[in-house]
Structure 1
Amino acid sequence: MAVSPAFSICQCEFSSPLRFIPRKKARPLFSNLQDGSEQPSSEPAAIELEFLGPDGKGDVLKTSVKSGEKVLRNVMRENKLELYGLYGKLMNCGGGGSCGTCIVEILEGQELLSQPTSAEKKHLKQKPGTWRLACQTIVGDKSNAGRVVVQRLPQKKK
């Protein structure tokens, strides 16, 4: 049975064979440091997070994350914390910053978080300055350390 040319496998020819170039040996990152001098720590600073319930009472979840590596929404989801109200459970954007339903209130440690984004400014313009969108808030900046207290669902607070 003959195969028609329209369905044949591509018969490409290369003018030269592929060559693999070995990588150069990696240099030590801190080769200019002399003996006895301190090397910078390779571990980023840690941020201690405390999550309060919607009413500010009840169970307090405490966790620690490396500074500058996680968005607050991801930390909350990893710890199985309630992030959305009823409307947000049905209509959230999945962390894109377009719906404004993942609101949290930062009670302590606002200076340890990233600056508010344009999406936050748009969705929270008539809200208190301590309110943030969890999906847009990066915890730390890889160099700072400290404690941040977060209240979940501040819109439910009495």
Structure 2
Amino acid sequence: MAATSSLFSLSFAPSRRRSIPLSRSANPSSAPSDLSSKPQLIELEFLGPKAGGDGSSPVDRVTAISGEKLLRNIMLENKIELYAAYGKVMNCGGRGSCGTCIVEIIDGKELLNERTNTELRYLKKKPESWRLACQTIVGNKENSGKVVVQRMPQWKK
């Protein structure tokens, strides 16, 4: 039995190694194109919910690789405030079941995915420019540009 189980595991070890796809850079014909291709970038500007004493909104700027992350994750990773007080306690953790991560896309909506069914349900009586950050994919891996996001538009006055 011990010999059989060791033979069994040995027989799978080479198979596992072969099943791992080789990097494209291992193929000499594709190496130059892989080295020269750069990921597309999306510049994001996040406007604060309320204007300061001079009338201007505080702005946070971040750059993200196109098509790799949800808007919510970009905001949280960069410590950009996403939730109002109740949302900090009541949010669903990005599962699209609470509606507390509302943002407004001021400019660059063409660089984002279309509204999801979840967004259509939660935002049906809200402006088209409003999105749920947990459902919004920034870019599509091929596009680049600038997106301007109003944080907590429901609190802007």
Class of the TM-score when normalised by the shorter of the 2 chains: 0.7 to 0.9
Q: Cα distance, 1:51 vs. partner?
A: 0.4
TM-score of the two chains, using structure 1 as the length reference: 0.80
RMSD (Å) for aligned C-alpha atoms: 2.6
Q: Which residues of structure 1 form unaligned runs of 5+? A: 1-10
**2:77: which partner in 1?**
78
Whole-angstrom distance in 2 between the partners of 1:12 and 1:100: 56
Identical residues among aligned pairs (%): 57
- Mapping 1:81-96, distance limit 5 Å: 81-96=80-95
Q: Which residues of structure 2 form unaligned runs of 5+? A: none
- Determine helix, strand or coil for the equivalent of 2:18: coil
Q: Cα distance, 1:89 vs. partner?
A: 1.4
- Determine helix, strand or coil for the equivalent of 2:93: coil
- Determine helix, strand or coil for the equivalent of 1:49: strand
| 8 Å CA contact 1:113, 1:139 repeated in 2 | yes
Give the ranges of 4+ consecutive aligned residues of structure 1 lying more than 6 Å apart after TM superposition.
none
Q: How many residues align?
A: 144
- Determine helix, strand or coil for the equivalent of 1:39: helix
Gap change, CA 1:117 and 1:30, over 3 Å in 2:
farther
For the pair 1:101 / 2:100, whether they are aligned, the reply is yes
Q: Which has the larger helix fraction?
A: 2
- Mapping 1:9-158, distance limit 5 Å: 14=4, 17=7, 18-19=10-11, 20-21=13-14, 23=18, 26=22, 28=26, 31=29, 39=33, 41-55=36-50, 57-158=56-157
